[in-house]
Amino acid sequence: MTTLERFRLVDAAPTEVWKVLSEFEAINSWAPNVEHSCFLTESTSGVGTARRVQVGRSALVETVVEWEEPHTLSYSVEGVPPVIRSVTNTWQVEPTEDGTKVRLITEIDAGRRPVQKLIARIIGRRLGAASDEMLCG
């Protein structure tokens, strides 16, 4: 498993940050690398909620696996290259004295063999850049 962690300090209350993250279908309104997003489920919040996101030529399906309001939102990502077994993004919202620390943790499972670990690191660089763009949004 390869784990990437990024964070950003935001000059906003944790409840404001959570409100943005919990509007799950609206990621395209604040993440510059997401061109389009929409719900795939009737549910609009909580575990099991799914959305489709368009990032360049890639269509991804993201399904919520953890929803702990107002602290943690975690979702699996499908539609990544088939050499990757799984990708999970976890957003953590933590209050600070001056606002909020927003952390984005990406876990990539490409397998245990050395070549698979190398692939995970390469994909990790691309996903890390995407994480930086989302955190800026």
Around Cβ 98, how many Cβ atoms within 10 Å? 9
pTM value > 0.85: yes
Show the low-confidence residues of the chain (pLDDT under 50).
none
3 state SS of 27: helix
DSSP string, 78-125: ESS-TT--EEEEEEEEEEETTEEEEEEEEEEE--SSHHHHHHHHHHHH
pLDDT confidence of residue 45: 96
- pLDDT computed for residue 131 by the predictor: 67
| Confidence at residue 107, expressed as pLDDT on a 0 to 100 scale | 92
